[in-house]
Amino acid sequence: MSISTPRLDSLTASGTREAFDGIRLADGHVFTLKVGPGGEAAEVFLFPGLTAPDTEAWENEDQWEVWLTGGEFGDGSLYLDVPVEAVRDLIVQHGGEHESQVAPWQSPGKADEVETAKAIATRAFAEWGITAHQDEESLIGGDRNTWLVVGYDQTRKGFPRMLAGPYVVLYLYSDTDEEEITVDRAPASGDEWTVLVGDGSGTEGELITRPADRFAECVEAIADWLTAHRN
């Protein structure tokens, strides 16, 4: 029986935008990789406990980069120019991809940290030159809904004028127990990233909704929306 690799396929098709993104394996191990759209080779960081196969594909270990970054990559190993097919073979050797791809792999050397949705989104937006601002509303019982707002006018300082021009709203949505709209916690299995578009007159509509592990598609949709408004 063949083992599919949907997350690897998605990351290599769209690229990781010059940042490391990760894959959790069925046996619990985690690695991150950086690859361009449609790339045939990647930089791969193996977290402690995960060993590279003893093959030519994994011979280019970059110990020098680990030293230069002052231990940024922790105790793991960084490999350069690893063929994507070799990465796929590694996944298969460990039983395939884990059914839940929501894991603390946000950046090398931070395996024990869990980033909030806001932190993940802010970092991804920064790579596109996009600024977002947090907004919120208080709920009964002391809870609150939180979300991020991206104004079409990225030259404006301060919070977007939502009744004066177009904008988008981004948040995690969950209705497993009760409806939740938030950017204050880490994404979890079953969450959905939701992006709404406002026209500046009080009307909002859905732009895109994606599962928790497909956030890159939401960022691209927002970047495309901004580009359309700038032209």
Length, in residues, of the chain: 231
State the pLDDT at residue 63.
61
Could you tell me if residue 27 is left (phi over 0), alpha (psi between -120 and 50 degrees) or otherwise beta? alpha
Is residue 37 helix, strand or coil? coil
Q: How far is CA 201 from each of CA 162, 198, 221, 224, rounded to the nearest angstrom?
A: 8, 8, 22, 21
Residue 24 DSSP SS3: strand
What pLDDT is stored for residue 143 in this prediction? 76
Place of tokens 């979300």: 147
| SS3 of residue 173 by DSSP | strand
Q: pTM for the whole thing?
A: 0.54
Joined tokens for residue 52? 């590279």
Query: What pLDDT does residue 65 have?
Result: 47
pLDDT at 185: 86
Q: What per-residue confidence (pLDDT) applies to 95?
A: 93
Residue 61, both tokens: 């270990």
Q: What's residue 91's pLDDT?
A: 96
Mean pLDDT, each 10-residue run in order, the chain (231 residues):
84 80 86 89 88 94 53 67 96 90 51 69 87 86 86 87 90 82 85 92 91 88 85 57
